[in-house]
Structure 1
C-alpha cells in the first residue's frame, strides 16, 4: 500500500462532515498517472442525499481529467472493516481494472486488501453495454 494514499485518506477522514452518524470516512485514489485524489463522506439532514468518501475522490479524479484507478485506500474507525458500500463498489468498478487493489484501513493502518473483482465479482460494467 502506498503510504501517501494512507496519509491522504486519513487526512480526508478527519475533515468528514458526519454530524448525524458520527462515522467519518476518508478515501484516497492513486490514478494511473500517479496523481492522488481524496474525498470524505459528507452527510445531509436528508439522509439519502449524502456523499460517500469514495464518490468524492472519484469525482475529483474525473474532474481533473483522469479515468483510471490504480489503487484505493478507504479508512474508517470502529472494530468492523469500513469496506466500500455497494454503490461505491460499482463506482470503483467503472474506473478500475480487475487487479486494482482496494486497501481497507483503520486509523492504526491496513486491515485487509481486496482486488476489485474480490469486492465486486461478476460485475456489470461498460463492456456489458457493447
Structure 2
C-alpha cells in the first residue's frame, strides 16, 4: 500500500460509507457507495443511481469515475467500495473495466463490509490485477495486429 493510500485509508473508507447514503436505489434497494482517491489526495464520492429503464442505471464506482474524469482528474491512488451487505462485495464487470481504463493494475481497491464504521474491520484489500486478471486496457490498443484477411 502506498504512503498516500495508508495516510488516507480511513478517510477513504468513511467517504465510501458517506456516499452510500446518497444512493438512489428504489428498485433494487441495493445501496452502494464508492470513494476514489486521486494521486494528490482528493476524494471523489459516487453512489449508485438507478433508473426505471434499468439500462440507464449507473453504479457507484462508475459515478465516481465519471465525476472525476469530467473534472479533469485522471490519476488515482485507490478506490473504496461499500454496500449494506455484511461481507465485502466486489464491483461488477462493467465497473471493473472502467476502473481498468483509468488505473494501474497495482492500484489498491478496498472492499468494506457494511459494519466498517462501527467495527473498523471487514475490509478486503485487492489490487486491480487481482480483481480483473487478464484484463484488456488502453495500452492493448497499441499492440501489433495481423492485417485483415
Shift of 1:80: 4.3
Question: Is 1:89 equivalent to 2:89 in the alignment?
Answer: no
Shift of 1:21: 0.6
What RMSD over aligned residues (CA atoms) do the two structures have, in Å?
1.2
Distance in 2 between the 1:63 and 1:8 partners? 20
Q: Pick from 118, 123, 131 the counterpart of residue 111 of structure 1.
A: 123
Question: Is 1:26 equivalent to 2:33 in the alignment?
Answer: yes
Distance in 2 between the 1:54 and 1:27 partners? 5
Residue deviations 1:10-66 (CA, integer Å, cap 9, x gap): 111011000111110000000111111010000111112101000010011111211
Deviating above 3 A after TM superposition, structure 1's stretches of 4 or more consecutive aligned residues are none
Scaled by the length of structure 1, the TM-score of the pair is 0.94
Shift of 1:126: 0.7
Shift of 1:85: 0.3
Question: Is 1:39 equivalent to 2:60 in the alignment?
Answer: no
Question: Is 1:128 equivalent to 2:140 in the alignment?
Answer: yes
Partner of 2:61: 54
Runs of at least 5 residues in structure 1 that lack an aligned partner in the other structure: none
Distance in 2 between the 1:129 and 1:98 partners? 16
State which structure, 1 or 2, has the greater radius of gyration over its C-alpha atoms.
2
User: How many residues are treated as equivalent by the alignment?
Assistant: 130
Alignment partner of 2:107: what SS?
strand
Shift of 1:118: 0.2
Partner of 2:145: none
Alignment partner of 1:97: what SS?
coil
Runs of at least 5 residues in structure 2 that lack an aligned partner in the other structure: 1-5, 117-121, 143-149
Mean CA deviation greater in 75-84 or 49-58? 75-84
Distance in 2 between the 1:65 and 1:32 partners? 13
